[in-house]
Amino acid sequence: MTYDSKVTNRMKRIEGQLRGILRMMDEGEDCKEVITQLSAVRSGVDRTIGVIVSENLVECVQNAEKDSMKMNESIQEAVNLLVKSR
């Protein structure tokens, strides 16, 4: 699977948020603010996982269109990835 700029940009945004959180911690920011930002990172990671899994699923289903067994395996694998990410 290739990762498009949409996924890469999401990861860069998350990276920036994490750097900001580390800076906030170094500066002794209020824990509520740190937790708020950590929650935003977690949401961003969850959404990114969803994008990656869904794009991978679409790709796998398109490649397995004529083989229903392979398509079912691809769908099950995608579901397992989502469950594992929780």
**CA-based nearest residue to 24, from 13, 32, 15:** 32
pLDDT of residue 75: 78
Rounded CA separation 44/1 (Å): 21
For residue 28, give the CATH number of its domain.
1.20.58.1000
Kindly report the pTM of this predicted structure.
0.76
Question: How do residues 8-56 score in pLDDT, each as one tens digit?
Answer: 999 999 999 999 999 999 999 999 999 999 999 999 999 998 888 888 7
CA angle 25, 27, 28 (to 5 degrees): 65
How many independent structural domains does the chain possess?
Answer: 1
- For the record, the structure tokens of 77 come out as 């694998």
pLDDT of residue 86: 67
80 lies in which domain range?
5-85
Question: How do residues 63-82 score in pLDDT, each as one tens digit?
Answer: 766 677 777 777 788 778 77
pLDDT of residue 84: 75
